[in-house]
Each structure stands twice: as structure tokens, then as C-alpha cells.
Chains A and B, each alone.
Chain A
């Protein structure tokens, strides 16, 4: 039996061979630049990949030709790409750089199941080209700026192998409505450098159903805050007080809450600093909380005065 490490080495080598194909290495170079914020028009090879069906097919065929024989040879090897398959959709991330990624997406046959009830807008851009299959997409556009009740316009679009589609920003997105047999798409995506929260609206009336952080680092930091809070790590309070100074309002507010619960003195000082800054977007709510805390614990007012002797 072939040891796992040899199987894995063979699959990694197949991936490396594919990435080093002349035509592909330029694409990966440009992906790095695109991931750092360059415009797609300044990345001609990468752009062509998502416009020219032959080029896109060659890119994926190169991967299949390089990887599949090795997978047949080493059935226990792990695919050297991040991947998942659930609910009739498979996705494999072929490359990622900075905020950008190239993924291969496959939708299984669908059309008779329950229709989606909501649509989610994310602060990102997607450039796609269909490689195989046909399907019906629904392109959804927000026609007003309200984040509480969106005026949605939904238009169907037939897609088949060779067709391209680009969608950008918080005001347009799509969902896959119907697929005959299967639909395979090559996708280039890039999240905004400072992404706004994702917004999920109900299709029937456009009301906001859910809002989620658009920045995974924000959510990562929020989880770290909670973890340190539950561990009672008082030594983390000064770091939390620093976190109050920058980031999204949501993360900053969570930092204030956790900091106050861990160390009243450090947390209350951070809270007062925000309450006193009229330019701060959290100034009003921080002022309200400060007043409530002083009412419940009058000694905080005395302590605050001792902080800033006039």
C-alpha cells in the first residue's frame, strides 16, 4: 500500500505542474495583483480567462489532465484545493491571493424544489464564465439605497457554456434558479478592501431579514473577544480598549462590552472617551450607556472625575 505522504506529494506535484503551465503562471501573477486591488482591465490575461470560452476551458482542462490521473493512482490522497459539496452545489477554490480567488463551481440539476425566499447582497465583485451545461439565473438588483426595505428588481437570464457574466458590489447579485443536468462555472471573485456588511432581503417584500459582517477578520476578532471574555482574561482588557478605537461599529461595540465586563476601570475609560467624541459614530449610544452605568453605580462618576482633574 502506498503511504499517504507519497499520495499527497504526488497530488501536490500535479497541482504545481498545472500552476506552472506557461499560460497559467501569468494568470496567477495577475491574480496576485488583482487581489491587491488592481483593476481587472490592467490584468489582461486574467480578464481574458473570464471572457474567452476557449481560454477558460483550456485552463480547467489543464487541471483535469494533470490532477485526475494522479487521483486515480492515489485514491486516498486529499485533493490539494479547498473544496466542499453540499445541497447540490460543489465548489473548489483553485487559487487565492489577497482578497481575490478563482473557484470552480458546479450546480447539480435543480428547478423543481422550493424557491428561495431571500436574496443576499455581498460587498464583492464576481466575474464568471460558464464552462458546461445550461441553466436559468435570476439577476437581482436593489433599486434604492435603503438597507431596511429594498426595492428589488429580478430578471431571469439564460446561461449556457461559453457565456460570461460580471456582477459588482452591494446592489446586484444573482441566484441559480434552474439547472438542466449540471452547470459548471469558473468564477473570479474579489471582496472589497473594507467590505460593508452583507444584507439579506426577503424576495416577496424586500424587507431586511439578516445582516452579517462583510469582513471575516472582523468576525474572527469578535470570536477572539468573546473567547477571552469567557476565559476571564483580565490581562486582555487593555488590548480590548485599543480595539475600541478602530474597525466596524459592531466590532468596536462588542469590544466595549467585553472590556467593561472584564475590567470596569479600563472599559469605562474607553466608553467615556467615545462618548466625549461627537465625531464618533458610537458617541450617542456610548453616552447613553455611560449615563445608565453612572445611575446604577454612582461611584463611577466620582472615579471618572478622578481620571480628568480639571
Chain B
């Protein structure tokens, strides 16, 4: 059967949106409070220092 293609932008989001891990509002001052600060890589990680040995 020939099914229609569906446009992503036509699909609704959940009522309460959830931002990416670590994301903040424009009002936030990230350096003063107690959230966990984490340096992270989402898609791939370059050589860690150990690999330079």
C-alpha cells in the first residue's frame, strides 16, 4: 500500500517540553548554583589525553 509521508513539523510535541541535559533558561546564572557541571560529548569523543601517551 502506498502510505503518505508525514512531515516532522506537523507532529505535535508533548505538553511539557524537556530541554537537553544541562540546558538552562535565559534567566539562569549557571555559575552560581549547585547544578552538576559536567563536560560531555554527545556524538563522539576525540582522543582522551591517555591516548596521547
| Residue ranges of A at the interface with B (Cβ–Cβ < 8 Å) | 4-5, 8-9, 12, 78, 80, 82-84, 86-89, 91, 93, 103, 110, 114, 116-120, 122, 124, 126, 167, 173-177, 189, 191, 197-198, 200, 202, 209-216, 218-220, 222-224, 227, 229, 248-250, 253, 256-258, 260-261, 264-265, 267-268, 285, 289, 293, 297, 299-300, 302-303, 306
Q: List 13 A-B contacts (CB under 8 A).
A: A12-B50, A120-B28, A175-B34, A191-B36, A210-B28, A213-B21, A218-B21, A219-B42, A224-B42, A261-B5, A261-B6, A267-B6, A303-B1
CB of B38 within 8 Å of the partner chain: yes
Contact A261 B7 (CB under 8 A): yes
Given contacts A213-B21, A216-B38, contact A116 B33 (CB under 8 A): yes
| Residue ranges of B at the interface with A (Cβ–Cβ < 8 Å) | 1-8, 11-25, 27-40, 42-43, 49-50, 52-53
- Of the residues B33, B39, B43, B53, contact of A8 by C-beta under 8 Å: B53
| Residue ID in chain B nearest A208 by CB atoms | B16
Contact B19 A126 (CB under 8 A): no
**Interface residues of A: mostly helix, strand, loop or mixed?**
mixed
Q: Which residues of chain B are near A8, meaning CB under 8 Å?
A: 49, 52-53
Contact A216 B50 (CB under 8 A): no
Contact B17 A211 (CB under 8 A): yes
Q: Which residues of chain B are near A189, meaning CB under 8 Å?
A: 36
Contact A118 B28 (CB under 8 A): yes
Q: Which residues of chain B are near A78, meaning CB under 8 Å?
A: 49
A256 to B11, CA, bound (A): 9
Contact B24 A213 (CB under 8 A): no
Beyond known contacts A118-B28, A120-B28, A212-B19: 18 more, CB 8 A cutoff: A5-B52, A82-B39, A84-B37, A88-B31, A118-B27, A126-B36, A176-B32, A197-B18, A211-B18, A216-B38, A220-B21, A249-B14, A257-B8, A257-B11, A257-B13, A258-B8, A260-B8, A297-B4
A105 to B39, CA, bound (A): 14
Contact A91 B37 (CB under 8 A): yes
Q: Which residues of chain A are near B33, meaning CB under 8 Å?
A: 116, 119-120, 173-176
| Residue ID in chain B nearest A147 by CB atoms | B16
Contact B2 A299 (CB under 8 A): yes
A256 to B6, CA, bound (A): 12
Contact B42 A250 (CB under 8 A): no
| Residue ID in chain B nearest A249 by CB atoms | B14
